[in-house]
A and B are shown apart, each in its own frame.
Chain A
Amino acid sequence: EIVMTQSPATLSVSPGEGATLSCRANQSVSNNLAWYQHKPGQAPRLLIFGASTRATGIPARFSGSGSGTEFTLTVSRLQSEDFAVYYCHQYKSWPLITFGQGTRLEIK
């Protein structure tokens, strides 16, 4: 099983600043990685797929990078609506897909 590890578990950032979230795989997933944003009571929202491609309607302040085992989600100029939990998801080993445990992005 491919294990995805996200860090940090919680990130405290002030609005207007930037945030960098990390996701690491225990083996290469190439660029088969997605990022989701999840707010309480809402459906998770696809942000990034293919490690770096923004999904439809996602603002340019969200960017993804990385390949192989190390990935980063960067959110620049944080807005109030960006504070949420973020998950990475590898689908290299489809159908045995796996998710990270999440990073909570909270207001500092």
Chain B
Amino acid sequence: QITLRESGPTVVKPTQTLTLTCTFSGFSLTTRGMGVGWIRQPPGKALEWLTFIYWDDDLRYSPSLRSRITITKDTSKNQVVLEMTNMDPVDTATYYCAHTNYYGSGHHFDYWGQGALVTVSS
């Protein structure tokens, strides 16, 4: 059974860097095809895709946030880390990580974490 859980600060100050960790089980990011994505949802707004990381170190970023986000993986810990620099109140959102399979039946997300609410406020 695949599970994912997001962890990190609940409040960050403007201009600070946000670091969120996705800890997962039930799959390995050394297995061909496995991937993890980050998605966020500001209060009352739509889901927004941020980034993907795959087993082969293929990285994909949202063009609108590419300059501010970095995704990395630690396969020994079964973790994926999202960093987002220069945080602003408009970045207040619930941040989700989710599992995907590059070689599956499409680039959908079959398992999600419960999400981590991050508020940007001074």
Asked, given contacts A97-B49, A101-B45, whether A44 binds B96 with beta carbons under 8 Å apart, the answer is yes
| Interface residue count on the A side (C-beta < 8 Å) | 25
Q: Is there an interface contact between A95 and B114, defined as CB atoms closer than 8 Å?
A: no
Within 85-108 of A, Cβ neighbours of B (below 8 Å) are at 87, 89, 91, 94-102
Q: Is the interface of A mostly helix, strand, loop or mixed?
A: loop
Surface stretch bound by B, among A20-28, A46-54, A66-74, A75-83? A46-54
Measured CB to CB, the nearest residue on chain B to A48 is B108
Task: Flag if A46 contacts B109 (CB, 8 Å).
Answer: yes
Q: State in angstroms the CA–CA spacing of A99 and B108 once bound together.
A: 11
Q: Is B32 an interface residue (CB 8 A)?
A: no
B108 touching A49, Cβ below 8 Å: yes
Residues of B within 8 A of A53 (CB): 105
User: Which chain B positions have C-beta within 8 A of A42?
Assistant: 114
Among A34, A45, A102, the residue within 8 A (CB) of B46 is A102
Please, which residue of chain A has its CB at the minimum distance from the CB of B96?
A: A44
Q: Chain A residues with Cβ under 8 A from B13's Cβ?
A: none
Q: Is the CB of B105 within 8 A of A50?
A: yes
B68 contacts chain A at the CB level, 8 A cutoff: no
B96 → A minimal CB distance (Å): 7
The reply to whether the CB of A32 lies closer than 8 angstroms to some CB of chain B is yes
**Complex: A46 Cα to B108 Cα, angstroms:** 8
| Interface membership of A43, Cβ < 8 A | yes
Known contacts A41-B114, A43-B112, A46-B111, A100 near B106 by CB under 8 Å = no
Which positions in B face A, CB cutoff 8 Å? Answer: 4, 39, 45-49, 52, 60, 62-63, 96, 98, 105-115
Since A41-B114, A96-B49 are in contact, a sample of 6 more A-B pairs with Cβ atoms closer than 8 Å, ordered by chain A residue number, is A34-B109, A42-B114, A49-B110, A50-B106, A99-B46, A102-B47
